[in-house]
Structure 1
């Protein structure tokens, strides 16, 4: 049995009429038209979900008091939150790139990373290498082009070059697949966490980073790939919130971990204070939807 999609396309005027009929207050129609034209109805719909009544309740779709300005303020809050997270994750990612490249270069030389014996799964290693080789072969980066034109043995550039062209996800996979736990810990040491924690945290942060980079809704999103929570240092453990059940991870613990790691790679960082200032501007103040516990601001790592 087929299930055809039969929703019609609607004009912006029809979209505004529909929202109004469903109980959303729109005080400034030209402003709403601008938002719907330049952001889109579908994209904004993710931000008015918290203001909808539970399905099955009679009457208009939106809760009493819902207005379009609050929805757009929430969208702007989320946009600023993504930019702030990208700023911190960039610093963390660059630090991991540098530590991974340095650790492998010191362990096995400039091209030691190409030794399949370093990795737990040979098939995964060859898959990672094939992907990386394709990118090296087509890369427009000047430093890669210089290597291709100057050297032909080995065909792949040294580890400090490929570290710069890997995606965060690729870097996480190369790092996590290393067989030598001691080597993984050497790489993890500048980040202030053991490799057993850093490996799953980096996998989680690569998902968070991709959400930010692709402009996806972030503030109340759940993440299926959960970070592993440290039980030390004590101030970090006391700031994190133990997960309730096995559901998706909410953003609170991600923010704590990012703040901790950002402080390790840049001790002068004001990122946590900047985040706290942004949180104070949340349009509704309902931070519980981000996983924030009660009295969170009194925990050790919040200034």
Structure 2
């Protein structure tokens, strides 16, 4: 379809398009398919006799929702970046003090040798092709061992890789030393990092976030009480919604960067949701009166 045909098609299906030129601009620069993820909640159920869209569905609401989601992604990515950097530093520090600059290469530290060798092979390939100046400096000046020290590889591996190296450590006490600066035990932090890695990737790849369900779930903590009372613990067998992710991001961020002001920015953004549909993100009724949201 041409852009004009796409607009005509949406109107025929019951969507209000107040400004044709503006709608064409959005369809040209964002695309029909990407926007369709944002008008999906406004569609009538399949088999409904009548127009595809619910009465009053407006193209301007769809684009406002898209803009809300874009700002939400940037805000979440900003928080996860600071959490990720803190975890990288804690992992490198704990491993270096556990056995030296290259102790992460000790296969006996890991619960599954096969997974260790898979992680190492992946990391070695990245080291071999890395354009980073500090990695090139190591390659030019050192050849034994071939892999750089832990503080270098901590900076170049992906968040997903970091999560896998951390979670595969055999010694629970060592995992807890890495987790200690976050204020959460390793039994909670390990699955949380896997979850946050998928959230981060959604943000980094510009995927829809606001009402997304995440198949990689997190383990909810049992303390401190303030955090537990803020989380939504109602049993939900489906994919994890964003509310609990945001609660735990805020908790972690307060540990690693207590002056960030992130919580107030998030609250301000949530007030701009075009339809007020925070329930689709997993927000419970009265969420703003729960302890963590009153913390700062």
The bucket for the TM-score relative to the shorter chain is over 0.9
Classify the secondary structure of the residue corresponding to 1:140. Answer: coil
Q: What residue in structure 2 maps to residue 149 of structure 1? A: 140
Structure 2 regions of 5+ residues with no counterpart? none
Matched, 1:48 2:39: yes
Q: 1:123 pairs with 99, 108, 114, which one?
A: 114
Structure 1 residue 197: Cα displacement:
0.3
Q: What residue in structure 2 maps to residue 89 of structure 1? A: 80
Matched, 1:241 2:232: yes
Kept in 2, the 8 Å contact 1:74–1:283? The answer is yes
Measured in 1, the distance between the counterparts of 2:213 and 2:265 equals: 23
Measured in 2, the distance between the counterparts of 1:62 and 1:45 equals: 12
Q: What residue in structure 2 maps to residue 20 of structure 1? A: 11
Matched, 1:294 2:285: yes
Matched, 1:114 2:101: no
Q: What residue in structure 1 maps to residue 29 of structure 2? A: 38
Q: What residue in structure 2 maps to residue 266 of structure 1? A: 257
Q: What residue in structure 2 maps to residue 104 of structure 1? A: 95
Q: 1:70 pairs with 61, 67, 71, which one?
A: 61
Measured in 1, the distance between the counterparts of 2:236 and 2:8 equals: 41
Q: List per-residue Cα deviations over 1:156-198 (Å, max 9, x = no partner).
A: 0000000000000000000000000000000000000000000
Aligned pairs, number: 294
Structure 1 regions of 5+ residues with no counterpart? 1-9
Structure 1 residue 11: Cα displacement:
1.0
Q: What residue in structure 2 maps to residue 285 of structure 1? A: 276
Q: 2:199 pairs with 194, 198, 208, which one?
A: 208
Q: 2:208 pairs with 217, 225, 232, which one?
A: 217
Structure 1 residue 244: Cα displacement:
2.5
Q: List per-residue Cα deviations over 1:221-275 (Å, max 9, x = no partner).
A: 0001111111101100000001423210000000000000011001112111110
Q: List per-residue Cα deviations over 1:91-136 (Å, max 9, x = no partner).
A: 0000000000000000010000000000000000000000000000
Structure 1 residue 57: Cα displacement:
0.7
Measured in 1, the distance between the counterparts of 2:271 and 2:235 equals: 25
Measured in 2, the distance between the counterparts of 1:222 and 1:86 equals: 17
Classify the secondary structure of the residue corresponding to 2:202. Answer: helix
Q: What residue in structure 2 maps to residue 177 of structure 1? A: 168
Q: List per-residue Cα deviations over 1:37-70 (Å, max 9, x = no partner).
A: 0000000000001110011111110000000000
Kept in 2, the 8 Å contact 1:273–1:302? The answer is no
- Flag as ranges the 4+ runs of structure 1 deviating above 6 A: none
Classify the secondary structure of the residue corresponding to 1:301. Answer: helix
Classify the secondary structure of the residue corresponding to 2:260. Answer: coil
Q: What residue in structure 2 maps to residue 5 of structure 1? A: none
Classify the secondary structure of the residue corresponding to 2:16. Answer: coil
Q: List per-residue Cα deviations over 1:206-234 (Å, max 9, x = no partner).
A: 00000000000000000011111111011
Q: What residue in structure 1 maps to residue 186 of structure 2? A: 195
Q: What residue in structure 2 maps to residue 7 of structure 1? A: none
- TM-score w.r.t. structure 2 length? 0.99
- TM-score w.r.t. structure 1 length? 0.96
Kept in 2, the 8 Å contact 1:116–1:125? The answer is yes
